[in-house]
A and B are shown apart, each in its own frame.
Chain A
Amino acid sequence: MLSGLETADIMEGVHNCVVNCAGVKRGENVLIVTDTLTEERIVQALACACKERGADVVTIIMKPRDWPMQEPPEIVAEAMRHADVIFTPIYYSISHTRASIIARLEYGARYINLPTLSMNSLKSEAARFPAPVISKIYEKVHEIWGRAKTIHITAENGTDVRGKILSKFYTGGMPHFPMQEGEFLAFGGAMGIYGMWPGGEEGDANGEMYFDAAHMFVGKLEVPLKYVIRKGRVVEVEGGKEAEHFRNIVKNVPNGDHLAEWMIGLNPKARIILDQDVTHVEAHRHAGSLHTAIGNSKVLGGTVYANVHLDNFIIAPTMTFDGTVLVDKGKLVVLDHPEVQKVASEYGVSW
């Protein structure tokens, strides 16, 4: 029975993910780890795209995890160690688990995380956006952020926070395209991020941040969530009904108060969609938006482990680096750079 041709509409996005980003090649062992809450057509499309490249594809379907970053069953963890490429279209992400990190770092697997991915996201312009253009935007951001010593973030919502950038070890965040061994990519219907670990006590982040959306809550917050930050730790949480949830984490989870990342989106076509899922992954990739995590920073250049990692979101920050404005009220200024425009033109995209 013909039940619609929607799968055809996502294939360009899937091709971008499988071929341009993951670089799946003939003869490679591909493992798709999914769960029973995931859209079957996405899994099938990923498998088809990998098979079309000549890869050997194995798909494992597991019970959905009970919470984000819960370890997968050992049989999955073992399979991950034998894969050249791992795709995880999944409800609760397992990207920062011991299983995935060992598979990447000790066994060299390339890991593409696709959490709470929707057909809608995979059909979008952001999902089709050319990887080389993202790479050029990344390069231009790195020229400013990666060489700076100080960061200052403000926003009209009241955010005003400053910190130090300790070394090159703590800035970055994107793989090569196509990906190389051991690399990680979150493809939430879009790709493109750059960020830093704020450096804990030594990084000396101080100030206040007000968030427009919060991890594990659907939609824009009616009352912005406020963090008061001292020396890289959240010391106070205020806001609406969501505040108690974050206050509990900050107070009760070991290192739950640790400021784990400041990260911006690079993708000019990623949409600020906040009302469709609890992770807002596509919005995080919107060029010039900012997400900030508390908790685990170990896979993000940092040194602090926590059994939690929650990202909150600011739509339109202004961010300066040693006095140079990189993001101006949510506009990523390097998008206008002639080199970025040239590459965009070569790939037939504009914004």
Chain B
Amino acid sequence: MDGKQVNKMADQRQAGTSYQLAQEIFVQGLAGDPANREFMGRHNRTIQFEIEGEPPFIVEVRDGRVAMREGVLADPDLGVKANPDVFRQVFRGLMSPGEAWMDDKWWVGGAFSDYVGTSWMMRLIKAGIRSRMQQIW
């Protein structure tokens, strides 16, 4: 392990992993706020997250509830591929998920026609961030 890797690991410990941040936004923020229940319950989707250098994880939104676990799904409904920096900026509300997608900073998507799912996922992230910010402040 070289110095750069050690520094990167130190940074990650300080900042938390992408999984932890996603948990904070999806589980604490999104699912922890009753105001989001109707919106969350509109669709059921599995989302596969692949963040560079970190273990892949899955977010499952079903019947208005959120479950998360590490792993890889053979056939997810939606996918997110990003480097940790972009992921953190989006999940901290510092970067728009749509703008990041347009600028090729991360890949977000689902089946060709699943704009419903893609749009819903981006708005879930924003709703989760909003709720988490309200909980904190």
A and B assemble together: yes
Binding site for B on A (CB under 8 A): 98, 101-102, 104-108, 168-176, 180-184, 195-197, 298, 300-301, 303, 305
Complex: how many Å from CA A172 to CA B102? 21
Known: A106-B96, A106-B98, A305-B104. A172 touches B111 (CB 8 A): yes
Least CB distance from B125 to A in Å reads 9
Name 27 interchain pairs, CB-CB below 8 A, sorted by A.
A98-B102, A101-B98, A104-B115, A104-B119, A105-B97, A105-B101, A106-B119, A106-B126, A107-B123, A108-B123, A169-B79, A169-B109, A169-B110, A170-B112, A172-B111, A172-B112, A172-B114, A173-B112, A174-B113, A175-B113, A176-B116, A180-B116, A181-B119, A196-B112, A301-B111, A301-B112, A303-B107
Verify A105–B112 contact, CB threshold 8 A.
no
Verify A181–B109 contact, CB threshold 8 A.
no
B57 cross-chain contacts in A, Cβ below 8 A: none
Complex: how many Å from CA A197 to CA B109? 14
| Chain B minimum-CB-distance residue to A138 | B113
B63 in the interface (beta carbon within 8 A):
no
CB < 8 Å: which of A106, A171, A197, A301 contacts B122? A106
B116 cross-chain contacts in A, Cβ below 8 A: 176, 180-183
Complex: how many Å from CA A298 to CA B107? 10
Complex: how many Å from CA A172 to CA B111? 7
B120 cross-chain contacts in A, Cβ below 8 A: 108, 181-182
Complex: how many Å from CA A196 to CA B79? 18
B122 cross-chain contacts in A, Cβ below 8 A: 105-106
Complex: how many Å from CA A170 to CA B79? 13
B96 cross-chain contacts in A, Cβ below 8 A: 102, 106
B99 cross-chain contacts in A, Cβ below 8 A: 98, 102
A180 cross-chain contacts in B, Cβ below 8 A: 116
B118 in the interface (beta carbon within 8 A):
yes
| Chain B minimum-CB-distance residue to A196 | B112
Complex: how many Å from CA A106 to CA B130? 14
Interface of B, secondary structure class, is: helix
Verify B115–A183 contact, CB threshold 8 A.
yes
Apart from A108-B123, A169-B79, A170-B112: 13 A-B pairs, beta carbons within 8 A: A106-B97, A169-B111, A171-B111, A172-B111, A172-B113, A181-B119, A182-B115, A182-B116, A182-B118, A183-B119, A195-B112, A300-B112, A305-B104
Least CB distance from B59 to A in Å reads 18
Verify A171–B112 contact, CB threshold 8 A.
yes
Complex: how many Å from CA A170 to CA B113? 9
Least CB distance from B120 to A in Å reads 7
A101 cross-chain contacts in B, Cβ below 8 A: 98, 101-102
Complex: how many Å from CA A298 to CA B97? 15
> Which 8 residue pairs are nearest across A and B when measured between Cβ atoms?
A182-B119, A172-B112, A172-B113, A301-B112, A106-B98, A102-B98, A182-B115, A180-B116
B112 cross-chain contacts in A, Cβ below 8 A: 169-173, 195-197, 300-301
Verify A105–B113 contact, CB threshold 8 A.
no
Least CB distance from B126 to A in Å reads 7
Complex: how many Å from CA A105 to CA B118? 7
Complex: how many Å from CA A105 to CA B97? 9
Complex: how many Å from CA A31 to CA B59? 34
Complex: how many Å from CA A30 to CA B88? 34
B79 cross-chain contacts in A, Cβ below 8 A: 169
Complex: how many Å from CA A283 to CA B122? 34
Least CB distance from B115 to A in Å reads 4
Complex: how many Å from CA A24 to CA B100? 30
Known: A108-B119, A181-B120. A102 touches B102 (CB 8 A): yes
Complex: how many Å from CA A214 to CA B2? 56
Complex: how many Å from CA A171 to CA B111? 7
Complex: how many Å from CA A125 to CA B122? 38
Known: A105-B122, A181-B120. A301 touches B109 (CB 8 A): yes
A197 cross-chain contacts in B, Cβ below 8 A: 112
Least CB distance from B136 to A in Å reads 22
A171 cross-chain contacts in B, Cβ below 8 A: 111-112
Least CB distance from B67 to A in Å reads 23
Which of B96, B98, B102, B112 has the largest count of A CB atoms less than 10 A from its CB? B112
Complex: how many Å from CA A195 to CA B99? 25
Complex: how many Å from CA A303 to CA B108? 10
* Chain B residues numbered 3-52 whose CB sits less than 8 Å from any CB in chain A: none
Verify A106–B111 contact, CB threshold 8 A.
no
A181 cross-chain contacts in B, Cβ below 8 A: 116, 119-120
Complex: how many Å from CA A19 to CA B56? 42
